[in-house]
Amino acid sequence: MKYHIIPVTAFSQNCSVIYCPQTQQAAVVDPGGDAEKIIKEVSSLGVTVTQVLLTHGHLDHVGAAAEIAAHYQVPIIGPHKEDAFLLESLPQQARMFGLEDCAAFTPNQWLAEGDVVKVGEETLSVLECPGHTPGHIVFINDAARFAVSGDVIFRGGVGRSDFPRGSHEDLINSIKTKLLPLGDDIVFLPGHGPMSNLGYERKTNPFLQDEQPVW
């Protein structure tokens, strides 16, 4: 699996295009805004977008999802249905941050733990990782030892849990029981900031050093 990162919005959110090198079919993951920029960079890659994938329902990750999906005439898939309240509140989120209006929408398909998404010949498995939001999911490509982690874990940090229905306890539990057991060699593309791997974070991330892993 190949990927291309497109930083978008004032929040420097890592929208990404992940694609299958065999078929050149692609998914746009977490298009938080700047739809024209995303479309231009997708065009430069020479890939065919077949779907929009969402890790969670915050505005900076979904703000351009409906526009991108309409442009390519493709479905929006994810996150987990527990984030429905966030997608329904997108107009309020936009007003709160002083951004352009963003209409509420419902994805074509919700995702849950154990679901599988195909991008060409590549397979993404779905893990439920609540805490930052109650319906946050992470996409795992085990063959490539690669994950799209959204706002669960960052290089040297973890996602905020002070938003509605966030839980720091659930967030740390998600990291320790769902992500770290996948293996130290898993490289992850976070929602913000540089990439890292789970082994480095297990050893150095200050939010994961307070107690022994629970697995």
**215 within domain boundaries:** no
Q: Give the residues across from 189 on adjacent strands.
A: 148
**214 within domain boundaries:** no
**70 within domain boundaries:** yes
Say if residues 29 and 61 touch (Cβ distance below 8 Å): no
Token readout for 53 is: 């994938």
Token readout for 101 is: 């209006």
Return the pLDDT at 84: 98
How many domains are contained in the chain?
1
Identity of the residue numbered 53: L
The helix/strand/coil state of 96 is: helix
**Percent over 70 (pLDDT), the chain:** 98
Which band of pLDDT confidence, cut at 50, 70 and 90, is reported for residue 98? Answer: confident
More confident position, 96 or 84: 84
**What is the pLDDT of the chain when averaged over all its residues?**
95
Range with the lowest mean pLDDT among 54-58, 94-98, 211-215?
211-215
pLDDT tens-digit profile of 31-75?
Answer: 999 999 999 999 999 999 999 999 999 999 999 999 999 999 999
Say if residues 102 and 88 touch (Cβ distance below 8 Å): no
What ranges in 14-72 are assigned the alpha helix state H? Answer: 35-45, 59-62, 65-72
Nearby residues of 96 by Cβ (< 8 Å), 6 or more positions away: none
Return the pLDDT at 95: 85
More confident position, 212 or 92: 92
More confident position, 163 or 107: 107
Question: Whole domain around residue 72: which residue ranges?
Answer: 2-208
**93 within domain boundaries:** yes
Torsion of CA 21, 7, 69, 159, to 10 degrees: 100
pLDDT tens-digit profile of 136-170?
Answer: 999 999 999 999 999 999 999 999 999 989 999 99
- Return the CATH number at 203: 3.60.15.10
Which band of pLDDT confidence, cut at 50, 70 and 90, is reported for residue 211? Answer: low
pTM over 0.85: yes
d(CA 69, CA 76): 6
Return the pLDDT at 99: 72
Return the pLDDT at 138: 98
Identity of the residue numbered 96: M
**59 within domain boundaries:** yes
Rounded average pLDDT over 191-212: 91
**213 within domain boundaries:** no
Token readout for 73 is: 């005439």
Return the pLDDT at 214: 45
**Percent over 90 (pLDDT), the chain:** 90
Rounded average pLDDT over 125-136: 98
Return the pLDDT at 213: 46
